[in-house]
Amino acid sequence: MLFQRNARLRALPSREFTRAVVVSLPPWAVVTPERRAHVERVAAVLSTWATAMRAPEGERARWLEAAWLHDALRDAPAANELAHGPLAAERAAHDGLTDRGVLDAVRYHSLGFAQWDDVGKMLYLADYLEPGRTFDQELRRSLAARVPAERDAILKQVAARRIARVIDGRWPLLRETVDFWNALVGY
Ligand SMILES: [Fe+2]
């Protein structure tokens, strides 16, 4: 259920709510200007959705924190398509981030993750639907507009499209992606 986890966290005097929220790229980020622009668009999309969905402030902050962190090491020398999410999550944890949902959102944003809470799902959607990507612009714009009212239905559509691309490219489907898809369809 939307925001459930956040409501639970907000009831606790958690460290997460005394720690400054990341509102831009972290100082250790290694990103090209194009990557930075992508990250800014992902954050902007998530902010728009948070407003439309009347997300509580703490939840909006989690979505934005995940947005700023997710590709922060994408252009680092040690990074690649599979490694950059885990690398950023590990670095953020090292810096004191303890929100498991935000860390899992960042870690698995390229693959999907069956145990995601709202922040992982929202980041996965925004990463694909942000308006700067050049493919399928009209379709993606219409899917993005429907997210606030039909989040779970659009999540299935986006996952299906992303997974189809993996299959079309004859790349392997990793276990996390298969488990994510099965969870989405209730298997
Ligand atoms: Fe990424």
Token digits of residue 111:
């693959």
- pLDDT band for position 8 (50/70/90)? very low
CB neighbour burial string for 155-184, b if at least 16 within 10 angstroms, e if fewer: beebbeebbeeeeeeeeeeeebbebbbeeb
- Residues ≥6 apart with Cβ < 8 Å to 157: 143
As a whole number of angstroms, the distance between CA 153 and CA 125 comes to 11
Q: What is the pLDDT of residues 175-186, one digit of tens each?
A: 999 999 999 999
Q: Report CA(79)–ligand 1 centroid distance (Å).
A: 10
In degrees and rounded to multiples of 5, residue 129 shows phi and psi of -95, -5
Looking at 13-27, 102-116, 152-166, which range is the least confident one? 13-27
Q: Report CA(89)–ligand 1 centroid distance (Å).
A: 12
Average pLDDT over residues 131-154: 97
Q: What is the pLDDT of residues 41-57, one digit of tens each?
A: 999 999 999 999 999 99
Q: Report CA(14)–ligand 1 centroid distance (Å).
A: 28
For residue 21, what pLDDT is reported? Answer: 63
Q: Report CA(11)–ligand 1 centroid distance (Å).
A: 32
For residue 13, what pLDDT is reported? Answer: 38
Q: What is the pLDDT of residues 64-120, one digit of tens each?
A: 999 999 999 999 999 999 999 999 999 999 999 999 999 999 999 999 999 999 999
For residue 23, what pLDDT is reported? Answer: 81
- pLDDT band for position 14 (50/70/90)? very low
- Residues ≥6 apart with Cβ < 8 Å to 158: 124, 125, 128, 129, 143
Of 149, 11, 3, 123, nearest in space to 63 by CA: 123
